[in-house]
Amino acid sequence: MSDEQKSLKQIIAFRKEKLADLRTAGVDPYPHSFSADHYSDQIKAEYSELEGQDVTIAGRIMSLRKMGKAAFTHVQDQTGQIQCYVRRDEVGPDQYTAFKKLDIGDIIGVTGYVFTTRMGEISIHAKAVTVLAKSIRPLPIVKEKDGETFDAFEDKELRYRHRHLDLVVNPEIKEVFVKRGKIIREMRNYLDDRGFLEAETPILQPLYGGAFAKPFVTHHNALDQKLYLRIADELYLKRLIVGGFDKVYEIAKDFRNEGMDRSHNPEFTMLEFYQAYVDYEYQMDQVEDLIRSVARQLDGLQVEWNGLAIDLEKPFSRRPILELLREATGHDLNNTNTEELARIARSFDLTLPEQTNYGQLLDLLMKELVEPNLIQPTFVIDYPKAISPLAKMHRSGDPELVERFELFIGGLEFANAFTELNDPLDQRQRFEDQARLRSGGDEEAQTMDENFLEAVECGMPPTGGVGLGVDRLVMLLTDQHSIRDVILFPAMRNK
RNA sequence: GCGCCAGUAGCUCAAUUGGCAGAGCAGUUGACUCUUAAUCAAUUGGUUGGGGGUUCGAUUCCUCCCUGGCGUACCA
């Protein structure tokens, strides 16, 4: 492995020597604290007031140009970089000797007055340089001239595996994670302002449910019992609704043991919120409003994503799934059976899985023929009962339809929501139907959850519930096209 | 899971039909008190992702494996 390479070892050995030299010279290379009073961007912004004034900054050495008895260095703090001019006659021979032992990557504090160099760069003329942390492992060095970048650190694998380096060397990516923080904060604010309770439900669950997915399995030693990492928190949050909390939400890490690609990470963040006495129509309004409210905290309601201009301001359209499928296939799918669906799918050259059921076929048709075209925000509504075991029958009286919506933007699914099924007998029946699918080979069919059913049997108020993919919302609002670029430490194979 | 592509120094990349594994930056030593890819001089650094094979000789050809990227399938 590259860590074992001789030349890297050599570099580290040299740095350790310098570290020892510093200690010999009476310099503590790892002091316990330091007080800076300015950030680099602030000094640049307030240059006219600060010129000639003393400031103290702290940060990492990103470039170093030593010239005998003087040197220039760029120091990077949380806000950016600023150049420091260090002159022996100014800082004194002891500090200058110590300074000469420093490397790119070391953390230092600099006190000095603000000035502009002959080349016109706002800089700090150092009066004192303090070593705050010596680095012994080299940083990838990115250089730049006339807007051209040299030796960029851009290997995706290295960036994801060594995110600390990525953040140091490509500081522009910090913006994505700052925005991610804002998005989540605004979600909380939005729901808190409307009287929602933030709840925490189990991640380790004896039964998993609330979505169609394969779980991660683990084992509790003391209980000698199998546990699953949650795939959703739906069933627990609904128990809280039964218990009398009328508005609850959780921003939850969910875990699904499935493939990973640019829109799927095995652990991902989902916002789920449930509100008693409202239906899915109310929730459509609320989701629209929530997304707008979050977008306003960032760059506004006109969003550019993946080269697509997406308008979050116009009312999101609401289209029944069967209507969309009729437009896409030319067939009225009301009252179709599995065989007819399969025939239609084949007529569009879609490859069908060996074993397939009605719900999976509908899903396939949607995915292939409809979803990629749902660029502007669209609520797909009124799903077939067969693929919605937790959603309530449609008020229209159609025995095949439930009150459910999914939100699509840019061809990606962002939310899934129902008027929640609160008829305990119907719910039991649905679980039994799922169990049949399961024994028929559908691994993702949901499992009978007696504890949940018992709760519903105690009486659950009419409820509207929503699940919203947080990572995807971050992707949309930061114009990132891979989920790995909105997750600080995306899942990677063990090396 | 399947398909395509890639892996050479700490970083970014070369290496002709199979013929001594190279450059820039970083590092080391020295010079240099307004530089900014600092400059100048000298210099260190390699099990070419790993195993096996073909060959007098493999970074190059074959094969298996590892890792990643992209696409595709399932899922949000």
**A197 plus A123 within the same structural domain:** no
Predicted confidence (pLDDT) per residue in A270-286, tens digit: 999 999 999 999 999 99
pLDDT at A355: 64
In a domain, A224, yes or no: yes
pLDDT class for A74, splitting at 50, 70, 90? very high
| Nearest nt to the A8 alpha carbon by C1' | B10
In a domain, A449, yes or no: yes
Domain boundary among A139, A157, A189: A139
Predicted confidence (pLDDT) per residue in A288-325, tens digit: 999 999 999 999 999 998 888 999 999 999 999 989 98
pLDDT at A1: 31
Distance CA A290, CA A186 (A): 9
In a domain, A326, yes or no: no
pLDDT at A257: 86
Nucleotide B66: closest residue by CA–C1': A495
Whole-structure pTM value: 0.91
Q: Which residues of A179-200 are buried (b: 16+ CB within 10 A; e: fewer)?
A: bbeebbebbeebbeeeebeebe
Domain boundary among A91, A116, A139: A139
Q: What's the average model confidence in pLDDT over A254-281?
A: 92
The answer on pLDDT for A410 being more than 80 is yes
**A126 plus A213 within the same structural domain:** no
**A181 plus A106 within the same structural domain:** no
Distance CA A109, CA A96 (A): 14
**A129 plus A178 within the same structural domain:** no
**A266 plus A394 within the same structural domain:** yes
- Quickly give A105 CA vs B29 C1' distance in Å: 22
For position A289, which CATH number holds?
Answer: 3.30.930.10
What range does the domain containing A465 cover?
173-316+376-485
pLDDT at A100: 92
Q: A258 or A194: whose pLDDT is higher?
A: A194
Q: Which nucleotides of B are covered by protein (CB under 7 A)?
A: 1, 9-13, 24-28, 31-39, 44-47, 66-76
Predicted confidence (pLDDT) per residue in A148-206, tens digit: 777 778 778 888 888 888 888 888 889 999 999 999 999 999 999 999 999 999 999 99
pLDDT at A245: 97
Predicted confidence (pLDDT) per residue in A353-385, tens digit: 666 777 777 878 888 888 888 999 999 999 988
Task: Please name the residue that has the structure tokens 């699914």.
Answer: A413
Q: Which of residues 31-70 of A touch strand B (CB under 7 A)?
A: 63-70
Q: What's the average model confidence in pLDDT over A341-346?
A: 81
In a domain, A444, yes or no: yes
- Quickly give A59 CA vs B5 C1' distance in Å: 40
pLDDT class for A93, splitting at 50, 70, 90? very high
Determine how many CB atoms are found less than 10 A away from the CB of residue A465: 27
Predicted confidence (pLDDT) per residue in A199-239, tens digit: 999 999 999 988 888 888 889 999 999 999 999 999 999 99
Decide: CB of A160 under 7 A of nucleic strand B: yes
In a domain, A352, yes or no: no
**A183 plus A130 within the same structural domain:** no
**A180 plus A132 within the same structural domain:** no
- Percent of chain A with pLDDT strictly greater than 70: 98
- Quickly give A137 CA vs B12 C1' distance in Å: 18
pLDDT class for A4, splitting at 50, 70, 90? very low
Q: Which of residues 455-484 of A touch strand B (CB under 7 A)?
A: 469, 471-472, 482-484
pLDDT class for A2, splitting at 50, 70, 90? very low
Nearest Cα neighbor of A100 from A133, A73, A62, A127 is A73
| Nearest nt to the A444 alpha carbon by C1' | B75
Q: A6 or A139: whose pLDDT is higher?
A: A139
The answer on pLDDT for A424 being more than 60 is yes
| Cβ-based neighbours of A426, under 8 Å, separated by 6 or more | A392, A393
In a domain, A148, yes or no: no
**A112 plus A11 within the same structural domain:** yes
Angle at which helix A174-193 crosses helix A280-297, to 10 degrees, equals: 140
Domain boundary among A87, A120, A139: A139
pLDDT class for A42, splitting at 50, 70, 90? very high
State the total domains in chain A.
2
Sequence letter at residue A406: E
Task: Please name the residue that has the structure tokens 């000035």.
Answer: A115
- Quickly give A492 CA vs B67 C1' distance in Å: 10
**A197 plus A118 within the same structural domain:** no
- Quickly give A140 CA vs B26 C1' distance in Å: 8
In a domain, A263, yes or no: yes
Bridge partners of A125, per DSSP, are A85, A113
pLDDT at A291: 97
- Quickly give A390 CA vs B54 C1' distance in Å: 63
Q: Which of residues 367-406 of A touch strand B (CB under 7 A)?
A: 367-368
Predicted confidence (pLDDT) per residue in A480-495, tens digit: 888 989 999 888 877 6
Assembly ipTM = 0.85
**A110 plus A177 within the same structural domain:** no
**A256 plus A381 within the same structural domain:** yes
Task: Please name the residue that has the structure tokens 């600080």.
Answer: A488
Distance CA A388, CA A319 (A): 17
- Quickly give A15 CA vs B27 C1' distance in Å: 10
**A177 plus A135 within the same structural domain:** no
In a domain, A491, yes or no: no
pLDDT at A428: 95
- Greatest mean pLDDT range, A142-146, A148-152, A283-287, A335-339: A283-287
For position A45, which CATH number holds?
Answer: 2.40.50.140
Mean pLDDT, chain A, integer: 90
